């Protein structure tokens, strides 16, 4: 999705920020920001979120603005899913990035062996999903359970939660978050 870099650069310039100043505010190296702006590097969701926070916006707002420049279609080939994670650790492939007025974030998540979302986190949303391959340990608050292929979950995302792949191979989840705040 080449518009991410151009849009970030436009937002930075509108705010009168240099690359180094944005780097200092976001905690992301100036070289990474420069590469992202030139579409030489695809940012992880954490990196993009840090940059957007420093620019005073959110992932939701950023992608809402970005989607208005894209044509809308109700169908998406697998090759059209947008990667917003890290392919070698936890891949989050987003379905329907250009859907107008999107109220739902739908993700195809792939967890490498041993991958872990890290310390429990929370955000204002509801989250549901189904394990389609492997086994994932999900912790929500003080409760934890290993979910295997075909098992699912639904919880209030304001409760701190964490995902961890406990299978020998890759694990996959099809998930939905509303509103799309993650």
Q: Comparing 55-59, 142-146, 173-177, which segment has the lowest mean pLDDT?
A: 55-59
Model confidence over 70-106: pLDDT tens digits?
Answer: 567 788 899 888 888 888 999 999 998 777 777 899 9
Report whether 125 contacts 178 (CB < 8 A): yes
Q: Which residue has the higher pLDDT, 176 or 72?
A: 176
C-alpha 133/C-alpha 121 separation (Å) is 24
How does the average pLDDT of the chain come out, rounded? 89
pLDDT in tens, 22-43: 999 999 999 999 999 998 888 9
Closest C-alpha to 37, from 27, 24, 22: 22
| Residue 27 backbone class (left: φ over 0; alpha: ψ -120 to 50; beta: rest) | left
Would you give the DSSP letter of residue 120? Answer: -
For residue 80, what pLDDT is reported? Answer: 87
Tell me the three state secondary structure of residue 91.
strand
Torsion angle (degrees, nearest 10) of CA 104, 106, 121, 167:
160
What is the per-residue pLDDT for 1? Answer: 46
Tens-digit pLDDT profile for residues 127-169: 999 999 999 999 999 999 999 999 999 999 999 999 999 999 9
Residue 17: its H or E element: none
Question: Is the model more confident about 123 or about 64?
Answer: 123
Q: What are the E-state strand segments in the chain? A: 82-83, 90-95, 105-111, 126-133, 135-140, 143-148, 152-156, 161-165, 171-178
């Amino acid at each position: 999705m080449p518009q991410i870099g151009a849009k970030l650069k436009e937002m930075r310039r509108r705010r009168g920020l240099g690359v180094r100043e944005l780097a200092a505010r976001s905690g992301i190296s100036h070289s990474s920001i420069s590469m992202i702006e030139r579409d030489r590097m695809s940012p992880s969701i954490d990196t993009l979120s840090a940059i957007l926070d420093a620019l005073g916006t959110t992932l939701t707002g950023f992608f809402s603005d970005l989607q208005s420049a894209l044509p809308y279609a109700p169908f998406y080939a697998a090759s059209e899913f947008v990667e917003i994670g890290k392919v070698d650790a936890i891949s989050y492939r987003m379905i329907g990035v250009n859907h107008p007025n999107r109220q739902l974030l739908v993700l195809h998540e792939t967890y490498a062996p041993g991958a872990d979302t890290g310390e429990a986190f929370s955000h204002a949303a509801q989250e549901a999903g189904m394990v389609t391959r492997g086994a994932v340990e999900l912790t929500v608050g003080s409760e934890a359970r290993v979910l295997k292929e075909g098992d699912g979950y639904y919880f209030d995302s304001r409760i701190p939660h964490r995902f961890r792949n406990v299978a020998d191979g890759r694990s996959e989840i099809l998930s939905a978050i509303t509103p799309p705040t993650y």
